[in-house]
Structure formats: C-alpha cells, structure tokens
Amino acid sequence: MFDNFPLWPTAASTGAGNVDALYIFLVALSSFMCAAIFTMIIVFALRYRRRKGVEAEQIEGSTVLEITWSAVPLFIFLFIFVWGAAIYFAERTPPRGATEVYVVAKQWMWKLQHPEGPREINELHVPVGRDVKLIMTSQDVIHSFYVPSFRIKQDVLPGRYTTAWFRAIKPGTYHLFCAEYCGTMHSGMIGQVVVMEPNRYEAWLSGGGTSGSLAANGASMFQQLGCPTCHRSDTQGRGPNLVGVFGKPVHLEDGRTVIADEDYIRESIVAPAAKIVSGFKPIMPVFQGLVSEEQLNALVVYIKSLSPPPSGSAGQPSGLPAGAELQQPKE
Amino acid sequence: MSDSPGAVETQKPELLHHFSSAEQQRDASTFGMWLFLATEIMFFGGMFCAYLIYRYWYYNEFAAGSRSINIWLGTINTAVLICSSLTVALGVRAAQMGKRKLLVTLLLITMVFGVAFLGIKGVEWYQKFEEHHIPGNSFNVDDIIHDYPQIHIDPQHEQIFFSLYFAMTGLHALHMVIGLGIFTFLTYKAWKGVYSPSYYTPVEVGGLYWHFVDIVWIYLFPLLYLIDRKPLR
Amino acid sequence: MSEHIKSEHVMSSKMYYGIWAALMCLTVVTAAVSFVDLGPLNTIVALVIATFKALLVVLFFMHVKYTSEKNDQGGNRIRDFLAFYPAGSQSRGLHDTPPQLAPCACGLTCDILRAALREAIS
Amino acid sequence: MAERETYLNKEYGIRSWLLTTDHKRIALLYLISITFFFFIGGFFALLIRLELLTPAGDLVQADTYNKLFTMHGMVMVFFFLIPSIPAVLGNFLVPLMIGAKDLAFPRINLLSWYLYVIAGIMMLHSIVTGGVDTGWTFYTPFSTAFSNTKVIEAGLAIFVSGFSSILTGLNFVVTIHRMRAPGMTWSRLPLFIWAHYATSIIQLLGTPVIAITLVLVVFERAFNLGIFDPNRGGDPLLFQHLFWFYSHPAVYIMILPSMGVVTEIIPCFTRKRIFGYKFVAASSIGIAVLGFLVWAHHMFVAGISLYSALIFSLLSYLVAVPSAIKVFNWTATMYKGSISFTTPMLYAFGFIGLFTMGGLTGLFLAALGIDVHVTDTYFVIAHFHYIMVGGAVMGYLAGMHFWWPKISGRMYPEWLGKFAALIVFLGFNLTFFPQFLLGYMGMPRRYWQYPPEFQVLNVLSTAGSTILAVGYILPMIYFLWSMRYGEPAPDNPWGASGLEWTTQSPPTTFNFEETPEVTWEAYDYEHIPAPEEVPVER
C-alpha cells in the first residue's frame, strides 16, 4: 500500500531488532514526557489564565522538587545509556570467524572484495545467516559505509582500517549509502547489499568469473614484490618471519609492544620505519604509492592467512580464505 | 562613592563617561585583559594539543627535527624576550612613578628587544629555508635522515614536526608583531605625556599582553628546541 | 590624596632585577640540562623549569602576587574567584564586589544541603 | 507628548551611527546585519528544500547543491545564530538590566561589529566568487586537499567573525562583573544576565579553539603543511576533535541566551517569581561547563575507540539534566500564575515545546546504539533544527517582540504578532518533523538526489518551509511598519520587573537619569501592578 511511503526501514540484520527496540522505547518515553509537559502547560495556561481580581500566588521554589526532577531523569538517562552502550558494544565487536570482506572507498564508488575472490562495485552479495566483517579503508577522503536496513554505519578513513560487521537475516536488496559528505557526487555514492539464500549465494559465487581468492592474489603479489627474499619462513631472514605473526604481540625495537592487527601490517608495508621489530634493521623499502589499496588488502589477507585461525572458534568458519592451506610456505 | 557620581572625577579626561570611578575603570581594563589572555591560552592550547599528540606518535622524527633547529639562536632569543619582559615591568613602574622620560626609554628598549627577537627568528627561518626544511613541495629531510642513521625517520612525520614548528613560531611571531604595534602606540602616548601615576592603565594592560607572549615562548622553547639534545647512544 | 588607588603599589626595582636574573639563570640551566641524559626525566625537568619561569613572570612581572595579597574591593582575581560565602548572604554586593562564580556554586550546594537536611529532620 | 530625547533621536546622520559607541545603537547595527544574513541563509535553505522536492537532482547541479548547504550552514551558524541574541538583545539589554551606562568597553564593542562586518563581506565575497563546498564542518582531508573551492577565504571569514564573538563575550563578562548598579547582587541578577554570562564564558574559551583549528586548515591548504591530512602523515580525527571542541559548545552559545529570554518572559506574563531562581541560574552555568566535555558525541562512528565513545555518551546524558531542570522550572512557574497570552508568551510556549522535543531527540542521539544508525542522517538535521531554529530562533523572536517597545519606543500590531507566531510554529513543525522520520528510515544528510521512497516526506518538509518563510518575513514587515505607524510605547508596557523597564522607552543614551539603586529581588512581581490592559490591543 505504502510503496512510496514507508515509515520504517526493513530490519534485515540481527542487530537491527535491538536498535529498533531501544528506539521504540525512546519514542514511547519521549511521547510520554512531551505529553506530560504539554498537558501541564496547557492545563496551567487555561486554569490560571488572567482573570479580574485573581492575583498570582508567589512561590519561591522547592528544593525537594528540584532534586526530584534532576535525579529521576538522571536515572532514566543512565538506564538509556547502559542500554545504548550494550547495543553499541555488540555492534563494534565482530564475532570470531566472521567472513572478512575488504572495502575500498573512493570518490565516488565502493569497491568490495570477497575472500573467495569475486570483486564487486557498489554491490555486495552476502548469504543469509553468515557473519560478515567489513574491513574498510579509503583511497581519498572520509566516506561512511551505511546500510540502514542493518542499522550499521562506520566512517571509512584514508590511511587506516575501520571495521563493521553484520549478520543478515532476511533475503532482499537493501540500500548502501555513503553517509559522510565526500564531494560532488556524494549522493551518487550509493549501491546495494543483496542478501541471498545460501544456495543461491553459492550459485552466484560460482557463476561469476572469479580471479582467484584474495589470499591467493596476495600470495602472488608477495612473490612479485620480492618480499620472500627477506621475510623467509625461518629465522635466517633479514626481515621478521611472518608465519603466525597475525594477532600476536610484537616487540618493537623501541621497547613498545603492539598487537599485529590489520592496521599494523598495513602500516608496516606503506611506512616500514614507523615500527621496527626488535632485533631487525630498518632496511625495508617504503611501498607507499607502489601498491594500490586493493593490492594492499590482498597482501594483508595473505599475511593473515599465514596464521592459523584462533583456537576456540567454532569449527572452520566458511569465510576463511579458501586457499589459505595451499598458500602456506613450504618449510 | 557611588552617591556622588564623581563630579570631580569626570573632569579627568581619561575617565570614560560610563565608569563611576577611575578605580572601576582601571579594574575593568585589567580584568578584560586577563580574560583575553585566557582566550589566548585556549588559542595556543589547541596547537599545543596537536603538538603533544604528534610528539607522542612520532617521537623519533620530533627529536631529530628538534636537533636540527639552532639551539643557540633559540636560547639567545629566550634571553632577549626575558630582558624585554624586565624592561616592560620597569616601564610600568616608571609610569606608576610618573617618570615620563624613563618610561619612554624603557618602552623603546623593549621594542628594540622585540625587533631583535624577530630578527633572530628570521635568521633561524632562513636557515631552515636553505636546508629545504619548510613543508611543501621542496621539503626534503635527507640531511636529517643521513645525520641520524641510528634512528628511523619518516619524512612525512618529519614534515609534521616542521609544520607545527612553523605554525607555532609563526603565530608567536605574529603576536610579537602585534605587541610591537601596541608598544609603538604606547610610546607615542607616553612621549606626549598622557600617562601619570593616576592614569597608566594602558601601559599596564599592554605590559600584561607582552608578558603573556613571553610566557608562550617560555613554553615553546623547551617544547621545540629541547626535545632531545642528549648524546646519542 | 584620593589618587591613592589601592593597587598603585610600586614595587622596588631591585625585585624586578632579581626576578630577571633568576629567569636568565633558569634559561641557561634548562638549555644545559637538556644535553645531560636523564632518560624520561629530561622532558619533565624542562617543563617544570618552564612552568616555574612562567610562574615567576605571572606572579611578579604581572603583579599577581601583589594583587592577591591585598584584598580590598576589586583588583584581586584569584582569591575572590575562590572566596567562599553562602549565596544567601546578600548584604555584600555593591557594583565593585568581586566575581563570584565559584562562591555562587559553593553557596548553592550549601543551600541545597541545608534545605535537604531541614526537610529530612522535619 | 513632546518629543523626548532618546538614543535614537539624539544625533542623526550616518556618522553618528557608524562611529557610535552606544551599546544600543551598536545593537541596532547588529540587528540590521544579522537580519540581512538571516535572509541570505534562509534563501539558501529554500533552494535546498526546492531541490529536494523531487528525488532526482533536477533544479541545480550537484556542485551547486553542495555549495548551497555549505553556505546555508556557515551563514546561519556563524553569521546569524551565534551573534543573534547576544549581539542584538544582549548588547542592548545587558547594561540596562544591571543598571550600567554602557558596556565596559564601548569602543571594543564597536570594533566587534566592524569585525563582524569585515567577516561578513569576506563570506559574501567567497559566496559570489564561487562558494565553498566542504560542508560547514570543514572535514579534512576533503577541505584541505580535495575541494577546489574558496575554503581559505571562508575559513578566514569565520576566523574573523570568531574574534567578533570573543570580544562580545569579553565585554559581557567584564560588564557583569564590574559594572553592576549598587544593590544588584549576583542573586538579584535577571536570569537573562546569568544566561549571557554562561554564554560569554563559552565564547571566551571555545571560540579560540575553532580559530586555531581553522588557521591550521588554512595553513595546510595554503602552505602544504600536513597536520590533518593522512596522506601527509596527519590525522583527520584530530581535526574533528578540535572542531567539535568548539562547535558543540557553540550550540549552547545559540541556545543559552534563548533560554535567558524565555526566563524573562514567563515570569512577566504569569505575574510570578520564577520558580527555583538559583537552580535556573546554576543550570546555565552547568550547561556551559558540561557542554565542554561532550564534543566527541559527534564522532561515534568516526573511528574513535569504543571506550572514549562510552565516556562521551555518558557525559552527554549528564548535560541533558540541567536542560531538563530548566524546562521543569518554566512549567512550574506557570502554576497558580495569572497568565496572559501575548505574542512574546506565545513564542515562549513555542520555545518550550520545540526545545523539549529537540532535547528529547537528543537522548536518541546520545544513545550509542541508535546514534550509529541515525547520525549523519536527516534525524540529526531535524534534531539540531529543533534546537537551533525551534529553540534559538523562537527565543530570539520572543525576545524581539518582548523588548521591541523598549528598543523602538513603538508597539507592534498584536494580532499580527500572534498570527505570525502561529504560522512560525506550524510551518516549523511541518518542515522538520518529517525529517525525523526520514532520518530513521535512513536518508543521509547532504544528499542532492535520493531514492524515491523518501519523496513524500520531503515534499511535506518543503511545503512546511514555504510556510515558515512567510512566518519569518511577517515580523520583519510589521516591525518596520511599527517604527513609523505603531502606537508609542509606554515605559513599561508589560508591567515587567527588570531595571530596563524603569527607564524611558526608548532609553536615553546614558540609559538612566541617575544610577539606580536596587533594593528588591529579581522578578519581584507581587509589587508590580499588572498593566490594566495586557497588551495594548490592536
């Protein structure tokens, strides 16, 4: 009936329902507060409107009332804060073993790449019921990845990775918007997320001419760029051994310790001098400008694939780079 | 005092019509200047905040950049500013005591110090210009990288140090130039004999400003010049 | 003479020269110390000296020490700002009474507590 | 009645205005200039609304649209809202209300107006020579490395206007501290003064931070520095932190004075003391202080850490408490009052209603989980227009009507005033309420074209904006009309309690015949007779 006039976005992800619940609660609370205050104002305005011979009654104030109407809202606010924070916490914490889709934003286009290989532009196909983690970066200015039906939004910044995740629960086609103003065609930087039943997703996956998995591309980049010359899989290399590095703490030359996450690996490629691993010399060339964002993503995925998935994750997640096992360097 | 809105006092030309007493007027002016200095603290504070964050992130580059600045010029400039602060303080004192010639002399000496500061600053900037350390297209820190093979220097991060160096010293120098303008005005008025022991607020307020600019430099000096001067390992 | 405006206290020039000498010494000290390896203490020492110098300038050259020692009407900023008296006492308050942001906040808190106590007892 | 000498007829000629140091004349200079900018900004807003009538981008080019919303934001925020109440009503009333002859620094006051004019000319110049397309938020690296529009000039214009704002705030603080009439203690100050005091503190401590931030942006663009550009090693989030450190408190620069106005009007037309004077005063200060601690709630999805997001969300809820206190106190003041429905009172009612809605939707945005969904959508647009237009502009109009008799010495046509108030209220709600729905549906802000399912609500909003425009033009017309044809105003047409009503309308240049001595408390309405006929009908 309301084809052109919907009032509520579809709730198509596991998180959407939680956001809607809090939203409905707040709408109810606000309506109640508005109704209460407006009723009071209207009643007072009519009941105490100016009349001949009736003087206003001077009232100084009431400390008890003041404290009440400061404390009660405060407690309600704190309640809302906790509820909102809980939702946010879930939104910001991707489950282990989520399929990792790499997103590169540029003026004015979304480029997405699945771990299995397919690349998409302004379109993202995902199956129902799978956790999908988006690892995003920008080639130029700040963008923002926004899917209203999933209730997720995350700014995408140049020079670093930000992440978001969702699990779709309802097949359909949903809007993908850029929500951070990014220049002339900001409003044209839109696309769609297509949520499919798993079997149709598999069909889609095998239908497209894939160019090899992301990790496999990364592996060949790794060879092409000559990385294995130094980053050998033993301890004799001039660079650190990269097998098993990802997700582990790394001791740096200046005494700090960092966790080897995506941002760290990325930084180590584009600006190797920033963090030198303890015991090594700063001899690695700078790759800034020599590798594109997509190639960088492939390299990061490849290096990640050199580390076994964290133990305790529920089985082999379907999203693990398909070629990870094959690409393990021969010892 | 407030009963008689001061028929006597309004005869003084320097008392503006809307104040009820010279004291109220003087008080308002100094209070206003203190508030303005609070504003200035926030103004420089924004930049100091950026400085601290980047210094924490890019310590190596900041240390190396700091070493490449001429510490002698920096120290001399600090001394010059402290001397100028002394002459300002003495100048306010001369105004309080109604010594017109002394006041004019001290104000002039202050300005000489101020100009000297800017001159030395100019020399320093010129050195940086010759070394291609000015951020922009011709920015080049190969010399610094070469000088310190034992630390790892990212030219981009080095550029941030120099960006902040020029922004901070540049804005400080701009404040000095404004201060010189104020002092030119004060000197002219003092020479004309406007100030007396009962009316010297402009000198005092101008002095507050000058001292504040001095204080900013007192912080800029260690933060920019003395990050890491200790012998390298 | 009515010219005797309160803060018109003239400080001795000797004091100014003393402060100047201290500032000069500290400048030399801070530059010299930076060449000595004190580990992380270098930065701290540099900033402590800078703060001390700034304090000297504020307290003596900018006359804050003097103006906060006297405390008649007007002129004194620091103590007035922090001065405490309940907001209820309205006997003060000619146009030249000092600023009372902090006192009002304190006084208000006081009033609230007093009223709350009264309500609780009765 | 024989012509009395007033500040308006004391001197004539252009010089007597452009070189005046009289705070009342400077207030009028400000009034004229901000009205000019209000209509420029409003014109941009109408073009935006017209473009959004249809989903396709068909009225203007995408670039033009981007410039329109940027200029709308910059003009309205920096050249209308921030100076609006402080520089016009505050300038006019602060000395009058505390019994002073003028502000502490009349010449600096004039200087601040000239700075505003210079800034305004720079802004206009950047508009006519190409405009700016960065959004009023100047986010880097777009503003420093990608935009090819007049960013430097606009940035400098805002820098200069910031100094104008700082000087106004400085003047107010010194005046309130040092120039009060005998007997005008802090606890007898009108709450309008308290609100302006809190506002001035924000202006003094917040504005310099945006000034230095914009200077760094200008440097980065002009001299290729790399402080905020990640491609040159900088950090764009640092820019956002510095920007919002001012720009969030700036919201309170806009709304606090409005609250002050409403707090004057409600006691007057209920013939009652304000309920809980101390709490209303303290809540102004509380808002000013807490307002400085919540800036990063604009950045929940910008890439800040989980924990800082939690802290800023919590603090944002704290700042809601003093706002709630004010609303409750205004409502309680009406209890057992003797209420008359004049134009200023209608605007005050409108203010309370719209501000309440704006504030309550603020709770949605401070809730982290919901903010992720609705930030950067029309929900945010609606929320801050409820605060800034529904709140600040309603308060401004309320104040203009309330003090117009004092400013001009004439009464405006009351029935037209009521009519306009009604139109503004209806037009406003029709314009902005649909935007809440649009936002929750997911329409992002700053979109030149949009998917067709958003159209119906956009059409409603555009329709509302034309009504709103009429509502804003009407008062300007009848105010101008009343200056010549309005009935002469008595000294105290409303029977109000402030010191400003004890002097003649319009006041003389030095405000008071002799310095008043205050022996009564604020809002002393039991001792002031209500005027026979409130208001002067027709």
pLDDT tens, residue by residue, D303-357: 999 999 999 999 999 999 999 999 999 999 999 999 999 999 999 999 999 999 9
Q: Does D57 map to a domain? A: yes
Task: For A65, name the nearest residue in chain C, comparing CA atoms only.
Answer: C116
C23 CA: distance to closest CA in chain B (Å): 7
Structure tokens at A248: 């582990």
Q: How many domains does chain D have?
A: 1
Q: Is the pLDDT of residue D210 over 90?
A: yes
B66-94: pLDDT as tens digits: 999 999 999 999 999 999 999 999 999 99
Q: Is the pLDDT of residue A321 over 50?
A: no
* CA distances, A1 to each of A5, A7, D438, D459 (Å): 8, 12, 18, 19
D147 inside 8 A of chain A by CB: yes
Mean pLDDT of A183-207: 90
Task: For C53, name the nearest residue in chain B, comparing CA atoms only.
Answer: B218
Kindly determine whether residue D372 and residue A88, on different chains, have CB atoms separated by under 8 Å: yes
State residue A287's pLDDT score. 79
A-contacting residues in C 87-116 (Cβ below 8 Å): 111-112, 115-116
State residue D380's pLDDT score. 96
Q: Please spell the DSSP secondary structure of D118-163, one letter per residue.
A: HHHHHHHHHHHTT---STTTT-TTIIIII--SSHHHHHHHHHHHHH
Q: Is the pLDDT of residue B35 over 70?
A: yes
Task: Grade residue D3 by pLDDT with cuts at 50, 70 and 90.
Answer: confident
Kindly determine whether residue D456 and residue A5, on different chains, have CB atoms separated by under 8 Å: yes
State residue A211's pLDDT score. 62
Q: Is the pLDDT of residue A149 over 90?
A: yes
- Substitution target from C52, C62, C100 for chain B, most B beta carbons within 10 A: C62
Residue type, A198: P
Question: What domains, with CATH codes, occur in chain B?
Answer: 36-225 (1.20.120.80)
Give chains near C: 3+ CB pairs under 8 A. Answer: A, B, D
Mean pLDDT of D265-283: 93
Strands of B102-165, DSSP E: none
How buried is residue A64: exposed, middle or buried, by Cβ count under 10 Å (0-12/13-18/19+)?
Answer: exposed
Q: Is the pLDDT of residue B9 over 60?
A: no
Range with lowest mean pLDDT among A81-90, B11-20, C11-20, D23-32:
B11-20
- DSSP conformation class of D182: T
State residue C81's pLDDT score. 43
Closest CA to D26 of D78, D79, D93: D93
- DSSP conformation class of D104: S
D466 and D494 Cβ atoms separated by less than 8 Å: no
Mean pLDDT of D15-44: 95
- As a whole number of angstroms, the distance between CA D316 and CA D310 comes to 10
B-contacting residues in C 29-68 (Cβ below 8 Å): 30-31, 34-38, 42-43, 46-47, 49-50, 53-54, 57-58, 60-62
Residue D488 CA, chain-centre distance (Å), reads 29
% chain D with pLDDT above 90:
84
Mean pLDDT for chain A overall? 83
Question: Which sign, positive or negative, has the C-alpha torsion B196, B198, B199, B200?
Answer: positive
Tell me the Cα Rg of chain D. 23
Q: Is the pLDDT of residue A45 over 80?
A: yes
A94 and A133 Cβ atoms separated by less than 8 Å: yes
CATH number at residue D196: 1.20.210.10
Mean pLDDT of B130-150: 86
Q: Please spell the DSSP secondary structure of A149-160, one letter per residue.
A: GGTEEEEE-BTS
Domain that holds residue D405: 21-527
B-contacting residues in D 202-231 (Cβ below 8 Å): 204-209, 211-213, 215-216, 219-220, 223-227
Q: Do you find a cis peptide bond into D535, omega within 30 degrees of 0?
A: yes
Mean pLDDT for chain D overall? 93
Cβ contacts of D178 on chain C, cutoff 8 Å: 74, 95-96
pTM of the model: 0.86
% chain D with pLDDT above 70:
98
A156 and A138 Cβ atoms separated by less than 8 Å: yes
Beta strand A131-138 with A162-167 is antiparallel
- As a whole number of angstroms, the distance between CA D469 and CA B153 comes to 58
State residue A323's pLDDT score. 36
Q: What are the φ/ψ torsions at residue A163 (nearest 5 degrees)? A: -130, 160
Cβ contacts of A144 on chain D, cutoff 8 Å: 301, 376
Give the other-Cβ count within 10 Å of A42's Cβ.
11
C26 CA: distance to closest CA in chain A (Å): 32
B131 inside 8 A of chain A by CB: no
- Substitution target from A18, A80, A106 for chain D, most D beta carbons within 10 A: A80
Kindly determine whether residue C8 and residue B222, on different chains, have CB atoms separated by under 8 Å: no
State residue A8's pLDDT score. 82
Q: Is the pLDDT of residue A189 over 90?
A: yes
Beta strand A191-196 with A172-178 is antiparallel
% chain B with pLDDT above 70:
93
State residue C112's pLDDT score. 53
Q: Is the pLDDT of residue D12 over 80?
A: yes
Which H or E element spans position A133?
Answer: strand A131-138
Mean pLDDT of A17-31: 94
State residue A1's pLDDT score. 39
Q: Does D126 map to a domain? A: yes
A211-234: pLDDT as tens digits: 667 777 788 888 888 788 788 777
Task: For A273, name the nearest residue in chain B, comparing CA atoms only.
Answer: B152
How buried is residue A226: exposed, middle or buried, by Cβ count under 10 Å (0-12/13-18/19+)?
Answer: exposed
How buried is residue B186: exposed, middle or buried, by Cβ count under 10 Å (0-12/13-18/19+)?
Answer: buried
Mean pLDDT of A130-138: 94
Higher pLDDT, D172 or A322: D172
Q: Is the pLDDT of residue B5 over 70?
A: no
- DSSP conformation class of A95: P
Range with lowest mean pLDDT among A33-37, C64-68, D45-49, D461-465:
C64-68
Kindly determine whether residue B58 and residue D233, on different chains, have CB atoms separated by under 8 Å: yes
Task: Grade residue B7 by pLDDT with cuts at 50, 70 and 90.
Answer: very low
Q: Does D535 map to a domain? A: no
Task: Grade residue A262 by pLDDT with cuts at 50, 70 and 90.
Answer: confident
Kindly determine whether residue B154 and residue A282, on different chains, have CB atoms separated by under 8 Å: no
> How many C-D residue pairs are in contact by the CB < 8 A criterion?
39
- As a whole number of angstroms, the distance between CA D113 and CA B94 comes to 36
Kindly determine whether residue A271 and residue B153, on different chains, have CB atoms separated by under 8 Å: no
D495-517: pLDDT as tens digits: 999 999 999 989 999 899 888 99
State residue C68's pLDDT score. 52
Question: Which sign, positive or negative, has the C-alpha torsion D191, D192, D193, D197?
Answer: positive
Task: Grade residue B219 by pLDDT with cuts at 50, 70 and 90.
Answer: very high
Strands of chain B, DSSP E: none
Mean pLDDT for chain B overall? 88
Task: Grade residue A300 by pLDDT with cuts at 50, 70 and 90.
Answer: confident
Cβ contacts of A293 on chain D, cutoff 8 Å: none
- Substitution target from A60, A62, A63 for chain C, most C beta carbons within 10 A: A63
Q: Please spell the DSSP secondary structure of A275-311, one letter per residue.
A: SPBTT--S-PPP-TTTS-HHHHHHHHHHHHHTSPPPT
Kindly determine whether residue D179 and residue B2, on different chains, have CB atoms separated by under 8 Å: no
At a CB cut-off of 8 Å and minimum separation 6, what does D521 contact?
Answer: D187, D188, D273
Task: For C58, name the nearest residue in chain B, comparing CA atoms only.
Answer: B211
Cβ contacts of D324 on chain A, cutoff 8 Å: 69-70, 73
Q: Which of C23, C37, C49 sits opposite B82 (nearest CB)?
A: C23
D51-104: pLDDT as tens digits: 999 999 889 999 999 999 999 999 999 999 999 999 999 999 999 999 999 999
D188 and D521 Cβ atoms separated by less than 8 Å: yes
Higher pLDDT, A305 or D330: D330
Q: Is the pLDDT of residue D40 over 80?
A: yes
Q: Is the pLDDT of residue A38 over 90?
A: yes
Question: What domains, with CATH codes, occur in chain A?
Answer: 7-44+94-211 (2.60.40.420), 214-327 (1.10.760.10)
Q: Please spell the DSSP secondary structure of A177-189, one letter per residue.
A: EE-S--STTGGG-
Cβ contacts of A63 on chain C, cutoff 8 Å: 111-112, 115-116, 119
State residue D451's pLDDT score. 92
B168-209: pLDDT as tens digits: 999 999 999 999 999 999 999 999 999 998 889 999 999 999
Task: Grade residue D283 by pLDDT with cuts at 50, 70 and 90.
Answer: very high
Task: For A283, name the nearest residue in chain B, comparing CA atoms only.
Answer: B152
State residue D167's pLDDT score. 96
Closest CA to A174 of D70, D107, D451: D451
Task: Grade residue C30 by pLDDT with cuts at 50, 70 and 90.
Answer: very high
A325 CA: distance to closest CA in chain B (Å): 36
Range with lowest mean pLDDT among A215-229, B54-68, D22-36, D486-500:
A215-229
State residue C105's pLDDT score. 52
State residue D533's pLDDT score. 57
Q: Is the pLDDT of residue B220 over 50?
A: yes
A201 and A114 Cβ atoms separated by less than 8 Å: no
